[in-house]
Amino acid sequence: MKLYYATGACSLSPHIVLCELGLPHELVKVELSTHLTADGQDYTAINAKGYVPALQLDDGQLLTEGPAIVQYLADQKPAAGLLPPAGTLERARVQEWLTFIGTELHKNFSPLFNPGASADWKAAALANIERRFGFIEKALAGRDYLTGGAFCVADAYLFTVVNWTRFVKIDLAPWPTLAAFHQRVLARPGVQAAMRAEGLI
């Protein structure tokens, strides 16, 4: 498998899942500002959406969208327990978190990375992020991970998004449980491996 990624972007989530599962993979870095891969290919010719992540399967098919990719990967090694079996409420809970992180948290970070975003837009996005962090803070009370005591693919996604706070200078002090979650996930060997490969640590 081949993962198209940008350093520290949302593609870090499937990268973490690949490392957690020990699945063999090749990394291809994409420069999002130019839409070129590290070896000079036009990334939009590979993925017409133009953004990461994209996972090229061994048969040449391309899978895009982080939440879809992490679920596909987890299903390749179900015994690892990163995603409950299809048809169970437990799986739906993980999908519930993946959707919430993608639509309510991830997208609100976009203006903070956009130099063209107005001050009002950024302020509104920050207020939304703070409200969502408050919700997650309560949800994590008394548990190590989003769905309980076991790490799942939604935790990889949440970690990736929370990690952006250091780049946009959001202090996690008001959400100590979320901050502890971030540090707990950061300490995992699979996460460390992905972070090192991307030059983030």
What's the pLDDT at 87? 97
- Give me the CATH number covering residue 44: 3.40.30.10
Q: What is the mean pLDDT of residues 21-34?
A: 97
Question: Which phi and psi angles does 56 have, rounded to 5°?
Answer: -95, 120
What's the pLDDT at 106? 98
What's the pLDDT at 97? 98
End-to-end CA distance of the chain: 24
What's the pLDDT at 128? 98
Q: Read off the pLDDT of residues 44-75 as tens digits, 9 standing for 90 and up.
A: 999 999 999 999 999 999 999 999 999 999 99
pLDDT confidence tier of residue 141, bands split at 50, 70 and 90: very high
Report CA 100 to chain centroid distance, whole Å. 12
b (16+ CB within 10 A) / e for 60-72: eeebebbbebbbb
Residues 62 and 94 in one domain: no
pLDDT confidence tier of residue 167, bands split at 50, 70 and 90: very high
What's the pLDDT at 159? 98
Q: Read off the pLDDT of residues 110-128 as tens digits, 9 standing for 90 and up.
A: 999 999 999 999 999 999 9
> Do residues 195 and 156 touch, judged by C-beta distance below 8 A?
no
pLDDT confidence tier of residue 133, bands split at 50, 70 and 90: very high
Residues 127 and 61 in one domain: no
pLDDT confidence tier of residue 101, bands split at 50, 70 and 90: very high
What's the pLDDT at 143? 97
What's the pLDDT at 8? 94
166, two tokens: 């250091």
Residues 119 and 72 in one domain: no
| pLDDT, mean over the chain | 97
Residues 129 and 153 in one domain: yes
What's the pLDDT at 134? 98
Residues 135 and 162 in one domain: yes
Which structural domain range is residue 62 located in? 2-80+190-197
